[in-house]
Amino acid sequence: MSEHVNAWLGAYYDGELEGRRLSAVEKHLAQCSSCQQALKELKEISLLLRSSPDPEVTLSADQFVAQVGLRMSRMPDQPLWQRAISVGWQWTPVGILGLWSFLQAVFIVAGILFLAVNLGFGGETLASLVSSSQTGSSVGDLFLLQGESVNEILRTGLDLLRTGGPFGWGLFVNLGISVALGLLYCSWLVSWWIRTRSPNHSEMPLEMNLNGN
């Protein structure tokens, strides 16, 4: 006779065995009265346990659901990435307004700068800076920077500042950027309005559904 299978009897009784293990246990049980007895006791203990009644609860279903509802936060916690998106979404209008303000400041400063140069104010340093940006000479030297790529970047930046002033075609660039940012802001407003119309947003009821219908 093969070895006793007591260690596997519980899993066998629970229907958790399969394949060769199941076959081996079944084969052993067919010829071992000791293991048959152990299996019988296992069934009896299981039946005895299940004869124990469920406890009598003190709260009705409605009371229980209501008490949970009272202690629930307004919304479930969100994962970090969702919270980051949510915060980003809320701060989008501020970002748009900030970007617009920054660009306006840049355009105004650039306009004043080039107006000052054209009127002969600002001394040689400012004039050489503007002059170098116009001629493509070594602007990087002014900032103790080396290399053609640095000069190119600085020259392009100064060109943009120059043409972006309120007295050149930069006025149209300014207007275009303002309109684009305005459209972006309007899109955000429309999305916000759609979100607030959603039944799962802030309009949802605070109380739980007590009746279940």
Partner 1 sequence: MTHRANSPEAREPELITKAQRGDRSAFGELVRRHRRGVINVVYRMCGDIHFAEDMAQEAFLRAWQKLASYQPHAPFRNWVYRIATNAALDVLRKEKDFINIDDVQLAGPGAGPEAKLARDELGDRIKLAILSLPPASRAVLILREYEALSYREIAETLDIPMGTVMSRLNFARNKLRQLLAPDLEER
The site for partner 1 (CB under 8 A) is made up of 7, 10-11, 14, 16, 41-42, 44-59, 61, 64-65, 67-69, 71-79, 82, 199-201, 204-213
Nearer to partner 1, 72 or 180 (CB): 72
Single-letter residue type at 152: E
DSSP 164: T
The CB-of-12 to partner 1 minimum distance in angstroms stands at: 11
Closest to partner 1 by CB, 189 or 210 = 210
Given the complex with partner 1, which of 90 and 131 has the nearer CB atom? 90
What span, in angstroms and rounded, lies between the C-alpha atoms of 27 and 78? Answer: 54
Q: What is the 3-state secondary structure of 3-41? A: CCCHHHHHHHHCCCCCHHHHHHHHHHHHHCHHHHHHHHH
CA–CA dist 22, 42 (Å, integer): 17
Selection from 146, 109, 123, 168 nearest residue 131 by Cα: 123
DSSP state of 91: T
In whole angstroms, the minimum distance from the beta carbon of 186 to partner 1 comes to 26
* Least spacing, CB of residue 86 vs partner 1, in Å: 12
Nearer Cβ to partner 1 (27/201): 201
Q: Which is nearer to partner 1, 52 or 125 (CB)?
A: 52
Closest approach of partner 1 to the CB of residue 38, in Å: 9
Residues whose CB falls within 8 Å of the CB of residue 159, separated by 6 or more in sequence, listed in order: 133, 134
Q: Least distance to partner 1 from the beta carbon of 199, Å?
A: 6
Cβ closest to partner 1, residue 94 vs residue 206: 206
Distance of alpha carbon 34 from alpha carbon 41, whole angstroms: 11
* Contact present, 102 and 177 (Cβ < 8 Å): no
| Amino acid identity, position 157 | G
**Shortest Å distance, C-beta 161 to partner 1:** 47
